[in-house]
Structure 1
Amino acid sequence: MKILNQSQYNQGIGKFKLLSSNAGVGSIITTKLGSYALILDINKWKFIEWANRKISLIRENESDNQKIYDRAESEINNRGLLIVDDKRFVEFLKIEKELESLVCLIDIPHMSLNESFNTPNWKNHPIKTALARNEEEGKSSDYMINAAHFPKWFISDKGKKLKKISEWKDIWKNECNKQNGKLKMPHFAPPRDGNDFKREFKSKNIEGTLVDNRVYQTLNQTNMLLICPNGHLSDIPWSKYLNWKLNHRNEDPEAKDLLGYDGCCTKPELIWTESKNKSEGYGSIFIHCNNCGSGKDQSFKVNLEGINSIKPKCKGEKPWEQELDSYSIPNENCSEEMRIALVTANNVYYASGFSSLYIPMHLAENKSKELIDALIVCNDKFNRTLGTKFEKSKEQWFNKNVDEEFLEIDCGVNISDLSFSIDELISKLGTEFNNDCTDDNIDNFENYRWQEYHCFTQNPSNKDNGLKFTDIVLSTELSSYFSKVQQIEELKVTQVQLDFTRVEPRDRIVKNGTVEYSKEAKNIFSEEANKLFILPANESLGEGLFFQFNQKKLDDWINSNEKVLSERFKRFMQEPNIDIQGAATMRKIYNNGIKHFLIHSFSHMIMRELEFSCGYPTASLKERLYISNNPEKQMSGVLIYTAEGSEGSMGGLVSQGEPERISVIIKKGLERMENCSSDPLCWESEGQGVFDLNLASCFSCSLVSETACEEMNLGLDRRVLIDEKFGYFG
C-alpha cells in the first residue's frame, strides 16, 4: 500500500509492547517504511493530556480523594477509556516515583489499522460511540501515541543532498504553492523531496472519491545519533562535523567541543556520497558542502572514518519532550561525554518497567476493609489540615475529630455490619494512624512482593473480582517439599513504565536493606510531578499456579548439605562490587543465597514442562519470584502465570494444577532435567551465561524466553534440583 498523506502515515504496534523494554517513551521505533520515529513523552499523548486536565479541574472543586477518584473514573469511562482499578499500585507509585498527586492509572486504548488506507478503524470503535453518546468532539488521532522523526537529517535520492527535516519541509511548502492546491502539506508524509517529482495518477480516497495524486521521491533518513549516559539524545551536527574534521584532521579524535563548534558556513549545502566500490566501514562515506566548498578538496576529502571515536560534551537535549508542531528541542544542564550509536543499537534505550499483581487492599495490608477505608479518609483529612493553628499532631487531631459519627458519615462505615465493636475499630485505627510507618530504608519493591506472597500464603482461597484462587490438596509426597500449591483461576497484572536510560541499563542494588541506583534515569513525563494525576498502563487478565516451598524442608536441606552447597556456590556468596555491570543481579543472588538458584531453576523447569503438558510456549508464560531472606519478610515461592492479552486465557494452566496432574508435571520435569544435549559440558559447567551467573543450565535444558524470565535467564542451576548427592528433589 502506498502512503500518500499524513492521515495514512501510521505505524501499527501492539499496545502491550508500548510499555515494554524496547518500545516505551524515549525509544526509537523502526517503521515499516524504514524510517525512525521517537516516541514522545506521555504529556504529548492527547488522551493522557485530556485526562490529566479533566482530573485537574475535578481537584479544584473536590478535596476528598475517594470522590476525586470516583468522578475521574466516571468522566474517563464516559469517554470510552478505562481506569485500571489497582489502588495498591497507585499508592506504590506515589512513593516510588514521588508522584504525590497521582490519582489513577488509565488503560492504553486499542486501535487497529485497516489494510486499505492504514488509518484507524474508527467507525465502530467504542471510544467514538462513547463520544457520540456524550456529544463530545474527538478524532481517532487523539487516541494514538505521538512520535516524531529522529534523527532529523534526511538524504535525497536526487543529488544526495543532506538537510534537516525542517529544511525539506520548507522546500515542500514551496512546491505546494506552485501546484495551486493539487499538493498540500499533509502529503509530505512520509518525508519527500519536493524537487524530485515522479508521476501523477488518480485514485479513490477513503470516501471513494477520485482524487489527483502527485508522487515525489521519498527521502532517506540517516541512522546515526549521539547518546548520553544521563539519557540525553542529540543529532550529529553534520555541518559542524565537516568544519571540525577539516580544522582538526586527526589531532582531536574525541571532538569534545563538537556541539558548540561553528558550521562550515552560514548556509551550508551538504552533500552525502558513498564510494561506488561499496567498501565496508565509514571510510567509504564522504561529506562536503557545495556552498563553501568545504570537503571537496581532492587532497583531503572528508569522510566519516573515525567517527566512532568522537565524544562531544552533551548539551542535555531531550527531543522526546518536544512539541509536535515545533522543531525546538528542550534541554537541561549536562556535561557528560556523548558517544556515537546506530539508531538500532541496543544501548540507545533501556526501559525500566514495573508490573503489579492486583491484590485487594484489605488482603495486601492484612487489615479489615473498614480499617483500610477509615485510614485513607483519616490521612486525607489530616493532610489537608496540616499547618493550621488548630492541629499540632496526629494524636491531637485524631482525638479531636474521630468518633462514631466521623466513621459513619466521613468514612462510610456501616456500624451494623461490623463483626466487632466500634470502640475496637477506633482503638485499632488510632494505633495504625498514629504509627509512623514511613521508613526511608524500606525496600518498596520487596515490600510490594511481600504483600502478594502474604496474600497467597495466609489465605486458602479468595473470590474477589480480579483475584480468584484456591488451595489444592497436596499429596503426602508433595507436602514434604511444598507448604502450598494454589490454582489462580483469575488474576490481573498491570504494567507501567517507570523511566528509561541510555548507554547502560539502570541497576537497582539492594545493599544491607538500603536501595542504591547505578545512575539517574529520565522520566516518561515532562509535566511537573505535582501536576501529574494519571499514568498510562496496560492491564492483562490471566491465570496461574502458585508454589510455596516448605521452609522447614528447605532449611533442613541447606543445613544437611552445607559443605557441598557452600563449595558449589562459594563465588556467588561473596559480596559483589556494586560498581560493575550486572551488579544488581549479582547482589540479588548474594542476598537471596542458595535458595535463589533452587526456586528460580524450579520455576524454569515448570514453565518448560508446561509446554509439553498443556501447549503453552514459554513466551506466553511469565514467572513472579518471591524470594527473600529478610527475617521479617521471609519468602520462598514462585507464581507461574499467563497474561498475554487483555482477555486472559481459558483455564488450560489452572487445569494443570489439579492434584493428580501437578505431581506428574513436577516428576516429568525433574526427569527431563536429567538430560541435556549439551552434557557433559553443561552438567559439569562452572559458569555459563552472562557474567557466568549460571552453572548447569543452558538453552537446551533450562533457559526460557527472556520475556518469561524476571532475571534475564540468570541465577540457574538444574543440579540443585536433581543431583543425587545434594539436589533438593534428589
Structure 2
Amino acid sequence: MTTKANGQLRRGQLLTTYGPGALFDLPRHAAIIGGLDAWPPTSALEEISEPRLARIIQHITGISHPRLYAPPAADDAPGGKPLGVGVYRFPEWFVVQENDQSSSRVRSRRLVPRRALERDRYNKLPVVATRFIAACSRGHVDDIDWRTFVHRGKTDCRQQLWLDEHGTSGDLSDLKVRCECGAERSMIEARNRAAHPLGWCSGRRPWLGLDSNEECGEPLRLLIRTASNAYFPQVLAVLSIPEPDQGIDAVVAELWNELYIVEEIGDLRLVKRKADVAQKLAAFTDVDIFAAIQRKQSGMSSPEKPPKLVELDAILAAPEGYGDDVPINEDFHVRRLPDRVWRKSKISDGIAAVYQLHRLREVLALIGFTRFEAIMPDINGEYEQEVERAQLAREPKWFPAVENRGEGIFIQLDSVAVARWLERPDVQRRLQELAGGHAQWQVHRHSKRPFPGGPYILLHTLSHLLIQSLALRCGYPMSAIRERIYADVAGQRYGILLYTGSPDASGTLGGLVQQARSLEEHLDYALRTGMFCSNDPICAQHSPSDTFEERWLLGAACHGCALVGESSCEMRNDYLDRALVVPVVGLEDAAFFAVE
C-alpha cells in the first residue's frame, strides 16, 4: 500500500466510480482503492446520522448496528496533515516500453512481473501496468497467470514472455502472448468462457490487503482494467424523513450510539455513568428503557416499509402552501402547490398534484460492489438479500456515506387515470411486448429481477423527458438533475421526484423548485419532443424481444430521445418506452397523454 499522496478524488467519487475495490491509474502507478481497513480511523471521520438507512443496511447485509461515516475531506489548513485513503499497487505484471526502431509491422514488448523491476523500470526502460487482468463474478481480481495461459497449462518454463501487437487497432485478435520457448497464444482465446482459458479463481481480494483471500472456485474471466464493467457500486439512497416524536422511543433512537450495546437490563447502569445519557433517561424506568431498546433492535432486523414508500407517505401528507413559511425541519420541507398556480389547460389532466420540496436531504451509502454485471435495486429502492456482492472490508462494521442537501419537484399522477389507461387493450398488448423483452433479458443475464410493470415504465420515461426540458430553464445541467420513481401499485400511488443536491451545507439555490409553477410548459415541451426521435422509425418500431439488438429492456427509446446520463437515472437507462407516454410513429394508441 502506498503511503504518499499520489492523487485526489472528490468525496462523492469514493462512493461511486472509485469506491473500495475500484481500479484506476495514478500518475505513476496502476492501483486499486483500498478497503475500509485502509481508510483513516472512524475517530478521524465525520459520522452521518440516518437511522432509517442504517436499518435498511442491517436488513440487507446482516451486519449488526452499522454506522455511517463520510469519506475524509481535504485539509486546506497550512501545515495540516491530510487524511487519505490507502491504495494498493495492482496489477503485478507490466509491459516494457521498448525502444523499437525496426520497421516491422509487429510491435513486440516484454511482459515482466514486478519482482523483475528496479525502481519501477526494467533495464532502465519505462514500464506500464498491463491492461489485462482476471476476475470472477464474485468481484475477486487477480493477475493473469501468463505462463500457464501461453503454455495452455502448468509449466516449468521460465523463459522471457512477450506481448506481440499486430497492427495498431489494439483489438484482442491482434494481440498474441509469446514465450521464447516457442509457445504462443492469441489474446482473443482469453474471451472463450466455455474453455476456461484463465483457470479458476483463488478468491484474491487485493483491495483488502495482499494476503486477503477467501474460498471461491468460480471460473476466471478476462477483464480490462479501464473498462466500464470493471466496477459497479451498490449504493443505497434515502431521503431524510423526520420521524414522529414517540416519547421514550425517540430518546432511545437519539442515544442509540450509546445504548446499542445493552443486552440485558443490568447493562443500563454502565451507560448511565455518562451524565448526559443519565439526564435524558431520567424520566423513564429501566424496565421501560430496556423494552424500548428491544423494540428498536427487533425493528432494525425487519424494516416496516421499503424506503420509497416511507418517502411517498411523507410527501403526499404535506399541506398546501407556497413554501414561504419557516421550515419546521431543515432536512425536509414540502408543500403542495395550489392547483390554480400551475394548472391552466387540459394537458395536465393526468396530473393529480404538484409538490415543491424546498428542503431535502439525501443520504447515500456504499454497501458493496460487483464486476461484469450491475445489480440494480428494485423499484422500491431495495437490493435483494441474496445478491452476491464484494465486501468493502474484511469485517465491515461501518459504511462510507455522503449527504446532499437540495431541492426538488414531485409530480403525482392521477391514480384513476392510470387505472383506466392500464385497462386499454392497446396498452396491455404493448406491456406484453415489454414483458417479453424482460423475459429474454432474464434468460440471457440469469436474473430473477421481476418485471417492474407498466406504471413504472410510464413514470420513468416521463421523468427522462421532463429532465431534458427542466435542464433548459432551471439553471442546472441535465447531469445534475436526478430522479426517484415511486410506483406503489398496491396503494395505487404514482409519482416522480426530480431533484438536485449538493454536499455543501447550504444546499442549492431554488432554480429547480420554482419550475413547479411552470409545470404545464415543461410538460408540453416534454410530450411534443417525445413524440419524435431523430432515429425514427427505427427507434419507434423497435421490438424489445429482438434477439439481434439485445435491447430487451427498452421499447421506443434510444440515445436520440429518452436516454439521459446515468448520473440522473436510477435504473441505468433501462425500462423506457416513449409509446407509453405519447403517440409515436406506428404506435399511436398506447399513450397515457393525448397530445393535440
For the superposition of Structure 1 and Structure 2, which TM-score range results when normalised by the shorter chain? 0.7 to 0.9
Q: Deviations over 1:620-677 (max 9, x none)?
A: 111011112234xx5411110112553643211012122xx22222223222223332
Identity percentage of aligned residues: 21
CA distance change for structure 1 residues 619 and 271 in 2, over 3 Å: closer, same or farther? same
Q: Matches of 1:522 and 1:549 in 2, distance apart?
A: 38
The one-letter code sitting in structure 2 at the alignment partner of 1:493 is E
Please tell me whether residue 705 in structure 1 is matched to residue 568 in structure 2: no
Measure how far apart 1:373 and its partner are.
1.1
The one-letter code sitting in structure 1 at the alignment partner of 2:431 is F
Aligned to 1:543: 407
CA distance change for structure 1 residues 458 and 412 in 2, over 3 Å: closer, same or farther? farther
1:507/1:518 contact within 8 Å kept: no
1:551/1:636 contact within 8 Å kept: yes
Aligned to 2:160: 270
Q: Deviations over 1:129-182 (max 9, x none)?
A: 8x7xxxxxxx32xx12221221111244469654332442xx44xxxxxxxxxx
Aligned to 1:320: 207
Count the aligned residue pairs: 551
Aligned to 2:428: 566
The one-letter code sitting in structure 1 at the alignment partner of 2:353 is K
1:509/1:517 contact within 8 Å kept: no
Measure how far apart 1:351 and its partner are.
2.0
Aligned to 2:215: 333
Q: Which has the larger radius of gyration?
A: 1
- Equivalence map 1:483-632=2 (5 Å): 483-506=352-375, 516=384, 519-526=387-394, 528-529=395-396, 532=397, 534-559=398-423, 561=424, 563-573=425-435, 576=439, 580-581=443-444, 587-589=450-452, 593-631=453-491
- Out of 534, 548, 554, the residue aligned to residue 677 of structure 1 is 534
- Equivalence map 1:55-204=2 (5 Å): 76=44, 81-103=45-67, 105-111=68-74, 125-126=76-77, 139-140=81-82, 143-157=83-97, 162-168=111-117, 171-172=118-119, 191-193=120-122, 195-196=123-124
CA distance change for structure 1 residues 482 and 146 in 2, over 3 Å: closer, same or farther? same
Aligned to 1:15: 11
The one-letter code sitting in structure 2 at the alignment partner of 1:359 is I
Q: Matches of 2:220 and 2:393 in 1, distance apart?
A: 23
2:252/2:259 contact within 8 Å kept: no
CA distance change for structure 1 residues 725 and 157 in 2, over 3 Å: closer, same or farther? closer
Q: Matches of 2:264 and 2:328 in 1, distance apart?
A: 43
Q: Matches of 1:98 and 1:567 in 2, distance apart?
A: 41
Measure how far apart 1:602 and its partner are.
1.6
1:271/1:287 contact within 8 Å kept: yes
CA distance change for structure 1 residues 542 and 412 in 2, over 3 Å: closer, same or farther? farther
Measure how far apart 1:508 and its partner are.
5.7
Measure how far apart 1:412 and its partner are.
6.6
Q: Matches of 2:382 and 2:234 in 1, distance apart?
A: 19
Q: Matches of 2:448 and 2:571 in 1, distance apart?
A: 7
Report the secondary structure of 1:26's partner residue. Answer: coil
Q: Matches of 1:601 and 1:544 in 2, distance apart?
A: 18
Q: Matches of 1:432 and 1:635 in 2, distance apart?
A: 34
Q: Matches of 2:379 and 2:407 in 1, distance apart?
A: 31
TM-score (norm 2): 0.79
Measure how far apart 1:31 and its partner are.
3.4
CA distance change for structure 1 residues 432 and 569 in 2, over 3 Å: closer, same or farther? farther
CA distance change for structure 1 residues 370 and 715 in 2, over 3 Å: closer, same or farther? same
Alpha-carbon RMSD across the aligned residues, in angstroms, is 4.1
Q: Deviations over 1:229-282 (max 9, x none)?
A: 22211112334445x44xxxxxxxxx5xxxxx4542xxx463535368779656
Point out the more displaced range, 158-167 or 540-549: 158-167
Report the secondary structure of 1:548's partner residue. Answer: strand
Q: Matches of 1:239 and 1:725 in 2, distance apart?
A: 61
Measure how far apart 1:714 and its partner are.
2.1
1:506/1:517 contact within 8 Å kept: no
The one-letter code sitting in structure 2 at the alignment partner of 1:485 is V
Aligned to 2:106: none
Q: Deviations over 1:69-126 (max 9, x none)?
A: xxxxxxx5xxxx53323232223223322221423x2222343xxxxxxxxxx5xx25
Q: Matches of 1:672 and 1:481 in 2, distance apart?
A: 18
Measure how far apart 1:338 and its partner are.
0.8
Aligned to 2:38: 44
1:509/1:578 contact within 8 Å kept: no
Report the secondary structure of 1:679's partner residue. Answer: coil
Report the secondary structure of 1:336's partner residue. Answer: coil
Measure how far apart 1:433 and its partner are.
7.0
- Equivalence map 1:406-445=2 (5 Å): 410-411=280-281
Report the secondary structure of 1:652's partner residue. Answer: coil
Measure how far apart 1:443 and its partner are.
8.0
Aligned to 1:344: 226
Q: Matches of 1:278 and 1:578 in 2, distance apart?
A: 35
The one-letter code sitting in structure 1 at the alignment partner of 2:184 is V
Q: Matches of 1:94 and 1:498 in 2, distance apart?
A: 10
- Equivalence map 1:460-475=2 (5 Å): 460=319, 463-475=328-340
Q: Matches of 2:165 and 2:539 in 1, distance apart?
A: 48
Aligned to 2:102: none
CA distance change for structure 1 residues 474 and 514 in 2, over 3 Å: closer, same or farther? closer
- Out of 633, 636, 642, the residue aligned to residue 500 of structure 2 is 642
2:5/2:84 contact within 8 Å kept: no
1:577/1:583 contact within 8 Å kept: no
